[in-house]
Amino acid sequence: MKIGLLGGTFDPIHLGHLRAAENARESLSLERVVFVPAAQPPHRDAPRGSARDRFAMAALATAGRAEFVVSDAELDRAGPSYTVDTLRAWRALRPEDELVLVVGSDAYLEMGSWHEAQALFGMCTVAVVQREGEAPAMGPGPAVPVNGPALPVSSSEIRRRIAARQSVRYLVPEAVADFIEKRGLYR
């Protein structure tokens, strides 16, 4: 099976993440896109939402789409959430799968500093989601582009809007907006 792995903090997951996943699914002929929330991202500040809340929001956002699934692989592992460890674990369980790591252009440019970066490039195809109007990124290893329309939404902007008591409707799926409101997240 040709699987796309889309990791991130998803703090919170938003429509831009879902559009990127759909673009990857279509343009790369992926049979499934697996969202992998990082418990402890090694290259950024600790997420504001708990790992379980971020997992729940990703599950709510992808509900009803058989092609989209959410994995808790990084939530149950101690220490930093290294992508190379996730790829190794996936390979051990499903060696027949063709893995495509879907990353944003900003992450792609930083991949040279990732834990065991060169091993990572040997374990999967790296696919890069470009921001609208952005020139193709020249990163530390081979990559294929993800084609399709991008949505300029960011988790940091969503958190800022929530803290300012502004609506995030139509930036996140309805179920995610309801979850954030009921749990009082990001206030």
Tens-place pLDDT, residues 71-103:
999 998 888 899 999 999 999 999 999 999 999
Nearest to 57 by CA among 182, 149, 161: 182
Phi first, then psi: what are they for 47, rounded to 5°? -60, 150
User: What phi and psi, each to the nearest 5 degrees, are found at residue 148?
Assistant: 140, 165
Question: 11: exposed, middle or buried (C-beta count within 10 Å: 0-12, 13-18, 19+)?
Answer: buried
**Domain extent listing, the chain:** 2-183
Report the pLDDT value the prediction gives residue 174, as an integer from 0 to 100: 97
CATH architecture group of domain 2-183: 3-Layer(aba) Sandwich (3.40)
Amino acid at 72: D
- The percent of residues above 90 in pLDDT, for the chain, comes to 82
Give me the half-sphere count of Cα atoms (radius 13 Å) on the Cβ side of residue 116. Answer: 12
Extract the tokens encoding 177: 């907006």
| pLDDT of 78 | 86
